[in-house]
Amino acid sequence: MHIEQDGLQGILKVSGALDIADSDDLRHALAEYLKRAAEPRLDCSGIEACGAAFLQLVWSARCSAQRLGKPWRIVAVSGAMEAAGAAIGLPVAQLSAAAPAGVPEARNS
């Protein structure tokens, strides 16, 4: 897993193969990024493999951004991310959208 922030556009880029062992590092990086970014944007185009743990962290980050009143957007996804979402019945487009009414927000703590 590799995480970097594009200094010019402020986009957080996540790439490589992500597994459950990367969860703590990714959770920390997302939380720190959400504190600093006025308009958090995530680029997942470089993800080669991921699972439900990664998607859960992205969902949590989206909910945290919404709680903070910040617009959240995923600017690019990879085929691996699409496949992981499909495997658990979660269209990745939902990870970039506002939480539907009645859906409790995740806590990113």
103 assigned to some structural domain: no
49 assigned to some structural domain: yes
- In what side-by-side order are the strands of the sheet with 73-77? 2-5, 12-17, 41-49, 73-77
Q: In which band, very low, low, confident or very high, does the pLDDT at 16 lie, cut at 50, 70 and 90?
A: very high
**Domain extent at residue 71:** 2-84
Q: In which band, very low, low, confident or very high, does the pLDDT at 93 lie, cut at 50, 70 and 90?
A: confident
**Which whole number is the average pLDDT over 26-36?**
95
Tally of domains within the chain: 1
106 assigned to some structural domain: no
7 assigned to some structural domain: yes
pLDDT of residue 102: 47
Q: Which residues pair with 46 in a beta bridge?
A: 15
pTM: 0.85
Q: For residue 54, what is the domain's CATH number?
A: 3.30.750.24
31 assigned to some structural domain: yes
Could you read off the pLDDT of 40-63 as tens digits, one per residue? 999 999 999 999 999 999 999 999
